[in-house]
Structure 1
């Protein structure tokens, strides 16, 4: 029996029909010079070997390399039959592409040949974040899943070294992982995790052992120790470090509608808050700007020095899932559930030009239409993917 994925063939409320019509009308714009892919884009990272390329994780069950300058999208890593939710580059010489998948496995491919190799099995639910690091001279993979577990793998042998979980058993689905380079050494690394609860946790990982960090070496009488970092009201989708070695602060994006800078010198207390206004899925930081994006489909550029909103880039017509800096902080690339990759300028000249054009044209969208791509998922799979993206609202 044939199955349809066209939402118009299913019962819809007035609100959902209005949303569908709005997105269909908005999909015609050319803002951000969109590169249109065939499925939803769930995550993206910078290609460490090319200043103009990114790797994206797609709901069609693949990882794709996208060159935003040449617009080439032909390099594809295939194998999974379920959505790939996260991507990382690592292994010996950075020659391996890793993709965390909806099928609970972590897939890997040779970066040059695109041939699938080892699959890492251990998670009992969706894999939502993967990062790579070297520990004691060994190339390792750290993964976080919707099963609330963090796993550490030796990528040369495929051996699972550790499984970590909050001792309180209250930790919910892992949303993101990032490496704290300031507190890491050749023999031991510090990893920060965020999850579907508002707590941010830190982990110390070495070849001889791994554990959650409870007592903070940075604590003072005015900044007492904390078992977790609690500065948001609900789910934290993104964590990253930005700044120099002495001022390498923690930046966060949350479902509470804010992005925050948590100061290392203040034992991770909030230094700055950016009121994005809706779920914030992504944040990146340059020397001049803080850029946020998420469910409201806008890319917002904030003046880092003053905290004021400088400009709003409009173009996506569905939730933005990731931001990537390219060109030495001169551009930010956004990817979205709408299946498009868009590029926005971050130089003062580019931003001033965008502000002027927006003033002249108003908020209308371009007449030229980009036809929305037909989803490769069934209606049931689309609903389940929506639940996955929204599972953090609890």
Structure 2
């Protein structure tokens, strides 16, 4: 263990010192064209009003509306003094409203266009981990999941809390992520999937006047009921529906080091399993790829047909917290605890070039930079003077 007067070394283990030095050395890389922000980044969603903008939840207590093409901040939604964990956009009084879950146990809201602060929704007794905006029976609603193990359903315009969902059979741990089933939900009721710090995925049928937890069938034994979907060993961080697939299957990301495809027609039993190798915090789907990322800092691109690793995108120097497939289907955006937003092209030729560059870096071969333009032999004034003399000779 190293000690010293520097705060970086005081009671710091050799492993922690090595990790800090490695990250410091890695911090200057330009892979993914990093946009550097000033705080740890927790989550990202697409700005519904602009294909070139995203909404980034920051630990500095704000949500940033960022143009990922230029790196410019269009707007910053401020108010919280604690980290913001998630963001969602819904409607309130005919206007688009931005909602954000926060460590201060509240859900904050802003008018998306003007940035004016709106209603705060208070009721959770611990961090609000995730929020989604929905419409149930024609009424705009908000659903939140917290570290207090509770899922709450709110009427957006009145701020009234409609329901508190808790598993009464198996102890439910801190909620990590929520996703609305785009297939089975109807205008009158939604089917909500919830993931938590335990390995169970639960389904809920939610109406304005009530809710119920859905009992599951066992994939191998259709006549056997199981309490919840159980395909992982530990925490599930992300739920993503495959909107391009015929069955709209569910993909998951887990702390057990895997991402899995749960097949709808097999009672959400696991089919494909991606062995990322460390805590998987996020998964994204961009044909023909499955993209995973998490605690090991790397973004891994997998060939969906074969399940084989195609490319590892290195660039982040701390945990990657979220991935977003960008409009157009040719790029993925990542955010990280390192405070950077990065955009990665996913064309096979771009991935091949990145892999080749990695191999060269491993061999100590530096990437060739384009040669600078040659310096002119004469200044502009000298060229003008020469031209005038030539005209005189004529």
Q: TM-score range, shorter-chain basis?
A: 0.7 to 0.9
| TM-score, normalised relative to structure 2 | 0.87
Aligned to 1:49: 49
| Structure 1 position 71, deviation (Å) | 1.0
Aligned to 1:346: 346
| Structure 1 position 15, deviation (Å) | 1.3
Between structure 1 and structure 2, the one with the greater Rg is 2
Q: Residues 198-213 of structure 1: matches in 2 within 5 Å?
A: 198-213=199-214
| Structure 1 position 208, deviation (Å) | 1.9
CA contact (8 A) 1:219 1:225 kept: no
How many Å separate the matches in 2 of 1:220 and 1:204? 24
Structure 1 unpaired stretches of 5+: 1-5, 368-394
Structure 1 residue 155 corresponds to structure 2 residue 165: no
How many Å separate the matches in 1 of 2:103 and 2:170? 23
Which is strand-richer, 1 or 2?
A: 2
* SS of 2:73 mapped into structure 1: coil
CA contact (8 A) 2:286 2:330 kept: no
Aligned to 1:121: 122
Deviates more, 1:94-103 or 1:137-146: 94-103
Q: Residues 228-307 of structure 1: matches in 2 within 5 Å?
A: 228-244=228-244, 246-307=246-307
Q: Residues 75-94 of structure 1: matches in 2 within 5 Å?
A: 75-92=75-92
Structure 2 unpaired stretches of 5+: 1-5, 368-394
| Alpha-carbon distance change, 245 to 36 in structure 1, aligned in 2, over 3 angstroms | closer
Q: Deviations over 1:209-253 (max 9, x none)?
A: 11211155x978547332100000000011111144741111000
Q: Residues 370-389 of structure 1: matches in 2 within 5 Å?
A: none
Q: Deviations over 1:333-378 (max 9, x none)?
A: 00000000001011223222222332333387999xxxxxxxxxxx
* SS of 2:168 mapped into structure 1: coil
RMSD of Structure 2 on Structure 1 (CA)? 2.0
| Alpha-carbon distance change, 336 to 363 in structure 1, aligned in 2, over 3 angstroms | farther
* SS of 1:224 mapped into structure 2: strand
How many Å separate the matches in 1 of 2:366 and 2:146? 40
* SS of 2:130 mapped into structure 1: strand
Aligned to 1:312: 312
Q: Residues 159-198 of structure 1: matches in 2 within 5 Å?
A: 159-168=160-169, 170-198=171-199
Deviates more, 1:126-135 or 1:224-233: 224-233
* SS of 1:317 mapped into structure 2: coil
| Structure 1 position 23, deviation (Å) | 0.7
How many Å separate the matches in 2 of 1:281 and 1:249? 19
Aligned to 1:326: 326
| Alpha-carbon distance change, 360 to 187 in structure 1, aligned in 2, over 3 angstroms | same
Aligned length: 361
